[in-house]
Amino acid sequence: MPKRIIHKTGAQQFTPPTILASLIHYAEQQHWDYLTWFKDSGLDIGQIQQTNGVVRFTQM
């Protein structure tokens, strides 16, 4: 279940890093061009693959 953080600007939902890391692994196996998307998104793929990165739904 996505984490919910409440602060003065409202609620934000985050994608669990293990789910994103699993999707990246699957994309690698399928030989999909996912690296271009990550470069354009500004997300740190290395941190996500190590399940250290937190990604908001609005970033995806």
Q: What pLDDT is attached to residue 30? A: 93
Instruction: Give the residues of the chain that fall short of pLDDT 70.
Output: 1-12, 53-54, 56-60
pLDDT at 29: 94
DSSP code string of 1-60: --EEEEETTEEEEEE-HHHHHHHHHHHHHTT---HHHHHHHT--HHHHHTT---EEGGG-
Average of per-residue pLDDT values in the chain = 74
